[in-house]
Structure 1
Amino acid sequence: MKFGSPSPDKKILFVVNEAGEFVELRRVALAAKDAGYGVAFLFAQQGYINLKQDRASCRLNGFDDYFPGRSLRRSLQSKQYQEIADGLENGYIPHSLRQERKPKRPFATGAALLLSALATPLLALTERTAGVLDARKKRKHARTLQPFNYARLVYKHVTPALVIYGQEFPGSVNSLLTKLCNRDNVPTLIIPFAVGTAKEMVESLSDKPPYDAERNIINKLAASLFPHWVNYYASKKLLRLPGQKIFLLETLGIAPEHPWIPNNSRTTCIGVESPEMQRYYQRMLFPPSQLRVTGAAYDDILYTARKSDTARSLIFRRLRLDPNKPLLVCAWPTDQYGSRDIPLEFPNYKALCMAWAKTLAAASRFSDFNVVIRPHPVTDPNLLMEVLRPYRLHHRVTDIDTLDLVPACDLFVACVSSTLRWAAACAIPAINYDCYDYGYTDFNGAEGLFTTNRYSTFVSLVERLTENKTVYEEARTKQMACAKEWGMQDGRSMERIINLIDELAGPPSKSTSPSEFHANE
């Protein structure tokens, strides 16, 4: 059920820093709009990779959107122009036909010709000057403070009743917005989009020189003056950010108390996805008042799909698969060789892909399992086809949303992906092949989810789970026993999230009943 225009003083500002955040926050935004709130998105980072498609999604759903790279005034002006364009039948009608025709005035025409003649030399000079100014402007926009300044302007313009993030990390504009919100008594909320731990941070930064605390005098000074920015891993003394950025954030008063803990911030509340994540936050000593177990927006989609008699059959029909055979879904690994400076089992990404393809082809050939491959959006399609074609797997690739595939499958395979928690919550056995050797232990509590960093073990796990029904059923039984720890599988997660939003922001003039959320899914 959709409502009309929301109360103008109940707007929610969603802040997106990474492309992965938008998918989850968009689900919450749709429910918030249905509940009567106004919605605006701020794409906070310059060069945001999915800007075009995510802005298109915002327009499709009636959300305002902002992004650094052009002035806020131009953004608002473009909105006004878009409203005019919407009445011109998608470009087929010129604007002149929508205007009242006015008689020509000879004096106005002559004046326009004179001004044009006088302005031509000046315009040429202005364009040359503008070229120099434009280059300076680009350099200025590349500076660290530009996204912060833009975020402040958007906050002032939107005047939100609540600000929602997908995550919090040092150096993001989120810290500044939270500071402004706390000053103005505006609540802030984190709806986490992924599993994040300190282990992930040290693994990703330990081999990068700018984060070495001993690299230069600036880093050494930052480590000495601000020891909470220091961490130790793999015989190295590390900084969470390069020294210069640490000084900047500390000077601005927007540095977190514990920079190495993801989502550590002064936000009002964190919507915790599951009991397992609640235990993690408790281990990291987050204040109990900051935590609220709500479940995640994707929970209700998984719940509906698992309870439906038709969801699985629809997936099988779309993929033209034999419904009498079990389904293995592989979330294809991305190329992360550029971020790893340690020896890996395979010399390059293509060789790694060939190994994955060989294993999946064997499962397809020697077991009863259907095999389907879901590539990541950043995967090179040409390389993927080149790798899969010799194994006759190129026709097994699909663009169906992973969130729809997981509850329909019987075995899920991925590489250190947050999507593995979906399988855990759905009681589906899974294999986490840590082919980049990150060593994450995020899923150790899921007993039907197997993690390995060795290819030989990966091959063995795939063989045993696809060819040995006893081994498979044992894994499924173990996963069923702990599934409730990994997701809120009662179909009411979005209801809890919206109730929390109402509690923080105050309910809008019109609200949606809990049953309507299920209808909107």
Structure 2
Amino acid sequence: MARSKVLFISHVDSYFSGFIDLVRMLNSSAEYEPHILFPANYPNLAKHIEICSAEQIGFTALALPIPSGAITSGFLARAKRSIIARSKAALLVFPITGYLSYLTMFESRLRTIRRVLASTKADLMILGGDIVGHDMALYIKAGHELAVPSVLLPGWMASAREPAELYFENPRFFLNRPMNRLLGHFFPRWIYEHRGRALVRQPAQEALALETLGLAPPLPWILHSGFADKIAVESEAALKYGLAEGISETAMVVTGSRTHDKMHDQIAIAREARAKLCNDLALAQDKPLLLSALPPDQLYGLGRPECDFSSYRDLVKFWISALCAAADGNVVVSLHPSARKGYEPFIAELGAKISDQPVAELIPLCDYYVACISATIQWAIACGKPVINYDVYRYRYTDYQGLKGVLTIEKQDEFLDVLRRMASDDTFRNEITELQKIDAPRWGNLDGKAGQRIVALFDELVEKKKR
């Protein structure tokens, strides 16, 4: 009996990282044949293609990897973003031209995606999320036209505040623009008021093209609110979050993730794994171990006026220096999947150790975790690890609001103070740990069976498709 084909769409580094363990699990099964589609370039595409080739995982790459050090980095990357931004801005000057350009572009992409889906003969399609302004809605629509159900495996949920903060200083999204006002009049769900400023989720020309083609989600400001058949969420907390934002309860299924299974396995060998980590990185085994996820660079483009730092290098220097001073050098840093490799020597010079292990494998081994509004914080909560959430960009998201085991701060002096206390005051750290453990079950069921629950969801959708 032929295996059912599951097509994973890997748009970015983090999607591949979230998929790969599940892909490996399916690749060794008798029921499913995984295949990964790489629609576009991203920093670690070449590495991910090598993994697929080495492990005999089927894949299709629609674009060749860009060599390291080419246009994806430094000045040329900023120049490329500037050219694209100016080209889009030019289209907005001519409303009808802009609308028709988006319409033509979406229709062309939709035709390409239909051909790709038909050629792969997929029975099920998996996406890392559904984000307005990206092409996930095109895949979902093409899938439905070809009777291919879609499942979202999102690593995070988000409120309307997240895109509102991202676009707050960008005039293209201001409602006071004539075309945006017209969009808001006919489609008021595209409007959101934030900090006294009315914004649209996408500029009018693009939003109207999405509406014309039936690609616009019912809740444009809400992440993952499109037309995927199911959303496999990580936890009861994520389910509650989605419900509060207006996503239908019937659209979501609490499965957990393969990341949870990885943490379950690591917890079982935590003592040995921690000893090996400390030995490999020359860290003290008898001192509290600080793990930190370095925040990605959010200072490019229009920048972030609310941030205390004008350059990412200065931010990294302060962040790492503060960690090392507080923890007496017993610091492990996990880089974001898209982080520039050029920062590794700089971080090492400041006294921190960098680990290439997935952060989900490191979290069960640490004593406390430091990150910036990261989706990985939910994993630390699930493991009962105290968290310092240093909102260095001052986005002020509400994801972890009210959690006593997550200490959210945004000022430098407060960050330094809580770091010192967490590192040196065992009683304080233990108190925060116990508070975190109370909330842990709501943020992840670490029973090692999340993969089985995800496959059960796949079974349900594939069987429904065959009927």
TM-score, normalised to structure 1, is 0.76
Report deviation, 1:463.
0.8
Residue in structure 2 matched with residue 506 of structure 1 by the alignment: 463
2:286 corresponds to 1:324? yes
- Between the aligned partners of 1:332 and 1:287, the Cα distance in structure 2 is 34
Return the match for 2:326 from 340, 363, 366.
363
Aligned to 1:351: 314
Aligned position for 2:54: 60
> Shift in Å at residue 444 of structure 1?
1.9
SS at structure 1 position matched to 2:231: strand
Deviations 1:76-97 (A, max 9, x none): xxxxxxxxxxxxxxxxxxxxxx
Name the % identity.
Answer: 29
Question: Which region of structure 1 is more displaced relative to structure 2, 340-349 or 409-418?
Answer: 340-349
**Secondary structure in 2 matching 1:163:** strand
Native 8 Å contact 2:109 2:138 kept in 1:
no
Give the Cα–Cα distance (whole angstroms) in 2 for the partners of residues 387 and 53 of structure 1.
Answer: 23
The answer as to 2:448 corresponding to 1:486 is no
2:419 is aligned with 1:462: yes
Match of 2:400 among 443, 446, 451: 443
Shift of 1:387: 6.0
Work out the number of aligned pairs and report it.
Answer: 425
In 2, Cα distance between the equivalents of 1:341 and 1:375? Answer: 21
Shift of 1:26: 1.8
Give 2:303's aligned residue.
Answer: 340
The alignment's TM-score, normalised by the length of structure 2, stands at 0.85
Q: CA RMSD in A?
A: 2.5
- Counterpart in the other structure of 2:68: none
Q: How many angstroms does 1:174 deviate by? A: 2.5
Distance 1:451 1:238 in 2: 27
| Larger RCO (alpha carbons 8 Å, 6+ apart) | 1
**Residue 373 (1) aligns with residue 333 (2):** yes
Larger mean Cα displacement after TM superposition, 319-328 or 413-422: 319-328
2: CA distance, partners of 1:154 / 1:58:
19
Structure 1 Cα separation of the partners of residues 49 and 395 of structure 2: 33
Residues 31, 498 of structure 1: 8 Å contact kept: no
Partner of 2:201: 240
Alignment match, 2:115: 153
- More deviation in 409-418 or 315-324? 315-324
CA distance in 2, matches of 1:177, 1:375: 30
Mapped contact 1:357–1:388 kept (Cα < 8 A)? no
Superposition pairs of residues 279-298 of structure 1, within 5 angstroms: 279-298=240-259
* Other-structure match for 2:410: 453
Deviates more, 1:446-455 or 1:32-41: 32-41
1:292 aligned counterpart, secondary structure? strand
Structure 1 unaligned residues grouped into runs of 5+:
1-5, 71-138, 509-521
Provide the C-alpha distance between the structure 2 equivalents of 1:283 and 1:507, rounded to a whole number of angstroms: 29
Matching of residues 175-254 of structure 1 within 5 Å: 175-215=137-177, 217-254=178-215
Shift of 1:488: 1.2
- Runs of 4+ residues over 6 Å off in structure 1: none
For 2:88, the equivalent position in structure 1 comes to none
Instruction: Provide the rounded CA distance (Å) in 2 between the counterparts of 1:213 and 1:417.
Output: 29
Alignment equivalent of 2:18, drawn from 20, 24, 27:
24
Task: Name which of structure 1's ranges 291-300 and 47-56 shifts more when overlaid on structure 2.
Answer: 47-56
Structure 2's unaligned 5+ residue stretches are: 65-100
For 2:183 and 2:62, the matched residues in 1 are separated by: 29
SS at match of 1:270: strand
For residues 341 and 140 of structure 2, the distance between their equivalents in structure 1, rounded to whole angstroms, comes to 40
Q: Is this contact kept in 2: 1:416–1:432, CA < 8 A?
A: yes
| 1:5-24 equivalences in 2 (<5 Å) | 7=2, 10-24=4-18
Change (3 A) 1:169 1:157: same
**Pair 291,151 (structure 1): closer, same or farther in 2 beyond 3 Å:** same
Q: What is residue 403 of structure 1 aligned with on the other side?
A: 360
Q: Give, in angstroms, the shift of residue 362 of structure 1.
A: 1.7
Structure 1 residues 59-110: Cα deviation after superposition (integer angstroms, max 9, x where no partner)? 223233234448xxxxxxxxxxxxxxxxxxxxxxxxxxxxxxxxxxxxxxxx
Paired amino acid for 1:269: K
- Compute the displacement of 1:456 (Å): 0.8
Among 132, 146, 151, the alignment partner of 1:170 is: 132
Q: How does 1:43-54 map to 2 (within 5 A)?
A: 43-44=38-39, 46-54=40-48
Q: For structure 1, which segment, 434-443 or 280-289, has the greater mean C-alpha deviation from structure 2 after superposition?
A: 280-289
Matching of residue 260 in structure 1 with residue 208 in structure 2? no
Listed one character per residue, the Cα deviations across residues 339-379 of structure 1 (whole Å, up to 9, x for unaligned) are 534242233222222322331232233xxx72222233444
Contact 2:218 2:226 in 1 (8 A): yes
SS at match of 2:17: helix
The one-letter code sitting in structure 1 at the alignment partner of 2:165 is: E
User: Is this contact kept in 1: 2:157–2:223, CA < 8 A?
Assistant: no
Q: Which residue does the alignment assign to 2:37?
A: 42
CA contact (8 A) 1:275 1:487 kept: yes
Are the counterparts in 2 of residues 68 and 147 from structure 1 also a CA contact under 8 Å? Answer: no
Q: Secondary structure at the match of 2:370?
A: strand
